[in-house]
Chain A
Amino acid sequence: MEINQEPIQQLTEIRNLMERSSRFISLSGISGVVAGLIALIGSGAALVYLDFDQRYFEMNGHFASLENSGYRDTLWFIIPDAMIMLVLALFSGIYFTSRKARNKGLKVWDSTARRMVINLSIPLATGGIFCLILLYHDLIFLLAPATLLFYGLALINASKYTYHEIRVLGICEIILGLMASWLIPFGLLFWAAGFGALHIFYGLIMYYRYEKENLNTEAGDRK
């Protein structure tokens, strides 16, 4: 038993343990970049599709197009597009995060991961159900702002259990969500900015801050 460790070493160990036991630190920056790319491709596809026949923009201006037979076609494009993006982003997130945990010799699914996921899921599931209700009421033009707003709130809620930076990301998503609900015709563009560009930007920040230069030291720490 080591008695009288160096004080600095003791403090480092205390801080390390406090972080490891209360925050989920395996969240991978690369998964953010990949999720961002997926969102850009998915929203790009939607933009191209909708731009060609201007249905989305018509719908935003007035509700006349609800009777338009094209409305159902739009939904049949938007919903599978969104679902594919969600599934791909989720899988890449799980893949890169568990890879990072493995590299650091940490467990992926521990109590901190559980806490983060639960706190992320509550606002996110609420948002998901809310979006289904929006669809039920044919309020398709509110989907982009609603997803941004609920996602932002979910991030802020989960940030207590992972990296602090996630909180700022959440605030940015909320700002974009509010702007998207104000400037309805640009909803899809705000959505692409929030889920695409911001994710890539944040993923890169997290990668350079926590993964790149830490790889060697972390490996050393774990003996």
Chain B
Amino acid sequence: MKEIISKLNRQFESRVRLGIMSVLMVNETVDFVTLKDLLDTTDGNLSSHLSALEKNGLVEMRKQFIGRKPNTRYKATDVGKLAFKEHLDYLAKLIGNRPKL
């Protein structure tokens, strides 16, 4: 049990971070507003989680302008994808079978 707990990736402890990574696994890039709608959270909460993930090298941010409106897009890095897959494997091990994702 101790071993299992130590393997738990602290990055994915929060619902929002887990959600961000889930969305970025199946979409090339996603903008801030779409993420906010999907995860049903606030601007501040989402951006603090995103910057934490960015600091740890799990996601990348790209700022651009569409017309005059700023548009911030996020993308999972290879490291981020790997870490998320490991987390999925870990969850699968906990429930004792592989999830069909």
Chain A residues packing against B (C-beta within 8 Å):
1-5, 7-8, 10-11, 13-15, 17-18, 20-22, 107, 110-111
Contact = CB atoms under 8 A, between A and B. Distances in A.
Given A1-B14, A4-B13, A14 B94 contact: no
B22 A18 contact: yes
Given A3-B13, A11-B91, A11-B95, A21 B101 contact: no
A33 B17 CA distance: 40
A157 B48 CA distance: 37
A8 B27 contact: no
A18 B101 contact: yes
A7 B22 contact: no
B interface, by DSSP: helix, strand, loop or mixed?
helix
B37 A18 contact: no
Interface of B: 8, 13-16, 18-19, 22-23, 25-27, 30, 34, 37-39, 88, 91-92, 94-95, 99, 101
Contact of A18 (B13, B26, B94): B26
A220 B101 CA distance: 23
A18 B95 CA distance: 20
B25 A111 contact: no
A13 B95 contact: no
Given A17-B23, A18-B25, A21-B38, A5 B15 contact: yes
Pick from B19, B22, B95 the residue with the most CB of A within 10 Å.
Answer: B22
Nearest to B90: A7
Contacts of A4: 8, 13
Given A3-B13, A15-B99, A110-B37, A10 B19 contact: no
A56 B16 CA distance: 61
The 8 closest A-B pairs by CB, nearest first: A17-B22, A22-B26, A7-B94, A21-B23, A14-B22, A7-B91, A18-B26, A11-B99
A17 B101 contact: no
Nearest to B31: A111
B95 A8 contact: yes
A22 B16 CA distance: 18
B15 A21 contact: no
Nearest to A3: B13
Contacts of B38: 17, 20-21
A216 B21 CA distance: 28
B76 to A, nearest CB: 12
A215 B2 CA distance: 41
A195 to B, nearest CB: 32
Nearest to A23: B26
Contact of B34 (A2, A3, A14, A111): A111
A10 B27 CA distance: 19
Contact of B14 (A3, A11, A107): A3
Best-buried of A1, A4, A20, A21 by chain B (most CB within 10 Å): A21
Nearest to B95: A7
Contact of A22 (B27, B91, B95): B27
